[in-house]
A and B are shown apart, each in its own frame.
Chain A
Amino acid sequence: MNVASLLTGMRAWLRRTRCKWLLVMTVLCLVLRENYPFSNFPMYSSFASRTYYLYLTDAKGTAIQTTRFGLASSTLKKIFDRYRRQELNRFKDSGDGRVPLAEASSGRLLLRYLEGLSAERPEAAGLLAGLQVQHVNVSEQDEALKLETRVVAQRP
């Protein structure tokens, strides 16, 4: 079968099919990717043996509900991820120190973002003093889960 007959066959099938809108939506979502309202739905599209999450604490290390700032912990991580990508680019010539530098800087940017949010949430403004961003690595070793926590940024 040559290309021309294949294309003719496809064209005929496209004319016949009842599901043209399905094709349109599928192609648009795959091509436009993350452009609201379109998406290629990449959540849980890959798994790794390690990941991380973030949470907030006060100066003494006592956990604070992320939702008190008007956002979910998953959103907190995604915002940090965006800063991290940006900062990794900025510190690309920093050799071994690249990742810690980028993460510390992303943590500070995240705290600044939370400060901005608290301008509209008076109850969150009271939580800012000494606010810490805790970074927890989650990994799987020998069929068991392992957690490692460290502070990536802290407000004075």
Chain B
Amino acid sequence: MTSLSATPRFAFYERLVMRALFAWVVWRATPGALVVNGIPSPNGIARLVDLHFLLDPQVFAWARTALAAALFLYVLRLLVWLALPVALFVHVAANAITNSQGAIQHAIQIVSLVLLAQTAAHFYGLWRRRRGEDRRLLEDREIWWSQQSIVAVYLVAGITKLLVTKGLWIFQARWVGVSVAKSAYQSFYDNFNQADLQHQLAVANFAAAHGWIVALIAATGLFLELGSPLMLINRALAALFACALVGFHVSLDYTMGLSFIYNQWLLIIFMINAPYWIVTAARKIFGPRRAAATSP
């Protein structure tokens, strides 16, 4: 990823690892079965398309099979023009149904948006290729737009905090203890894990008693969200910032039980991009030695 070219370039091994891991994330982020009570409060795509046909377990089983086949083709980079729209439709439709129960969750949108970005980038790339663009840019652009989608999720979350609170979010954060206690009890009534409850209540009580320390920590989180576009400058900033964001997610998981696991995975796959750093380090360490060994 260089900062000079319009679309950053990625090596074959990077693209392959990203495709395989992202396919796995999409598979995991798509419900295995739709245990719902109809579509009582249609949301998003469920407002535009009647998705009731997917509530038939047999139809949904077919849709899951189609998704598996599409993701397999996607990883192999075969029939991508077909694989991406199929994967996008099944994934988004299934999650739109689960989000149409009158309760909207925010764990999966990031996966859907990255999948949408890759589909849009692919078709835009096909159009550009007809106009003479280098064919190697096609997949690089899909990754680049994926990275921008990830950044958009954090940036929008930060902007929304400022809009909703008229810029006073950090000051309101001193009441985070109340929210932590609510989350703690909600998790407890999901799994009856007494140890987790005690741990999270200790955090909630600490937050209630030390509101301004909590506000300071919250300010760090807001800075990371609003500063997330820095990840698009170069590989090093992407990796550093993404590590900080993953660290923040891990700390929120520890204190509030909010893991946002798919955010973490997408940061690891597209921003931290460990294969690049491993190969680069290996080349630095072993490259000169091999060069010396082969020199006359």
Q: Say what secondary structure dominates the interface of chain B.
A: helix
Instruction: Kindly list chain A residues whose C-beta atoms are within 8 Å of the C-beta of B45.
Output: 36-37
User: How far is B189's CA from A77's CA once the two chains are assembled, in angstroms?
Assistant: 12
Interface segment out of the listed B16-24, B78-86, B161-169, B240-248: B161-169
Q: Are B149 and A21 in contact (CB under 8 A)?
A: yes
Q: How many residues from A make CB contacts under 8 Å with B?
A: 61
Tell me if B195 counts as interface (CB < 8 A to partner A): no
Q: Given A43-B106, A51-B178, is A19 in contact with B232 using a C-beta cutoff of 8 Å?
A: yes
Q: Are A139 and B178 in contact (CB under 8 A)?
A: yes
Counting chain A CB atoms within 10 Å of each CB, the highest count among B96, B190, B192 belongs to B190
Interface segment out of the listed B33-41, B60-68, B128-136, B287-295: B33-41
Tell me if A152 counts as interface (CB < 8 A to partner B): no
Q: Given A30-B159, A41-B160, A144-B205, is A51 in contact with B182 using a C-beta cutoff of 8 Å?
A: yes
| Residue of A36, A47, A50, A121 touching B112 (CB-CB under 8 A) | A36
The residue on B at minimum CB distance from A57 is B189
Tell me if A111 counts as interface (CB < 8 A to partner B): no
A-B CB contact pairs (8 Å), 28 listed: A21-B117, A21-B121, A21-B148, A22-B152, A22-B229, A26-B156, A30-B156, A34-B44, A36-B43, A37-B45, A37-B92, A39-B156, A40-B160, A43-B106, A45-B160, A45-B164, A49-B178, A51-B178, A73-B190, A113-B37, A117-B37, A136-B185, A138-B182, A143-B208, A144-B205, A145-B177, A145-B178, A145-B208
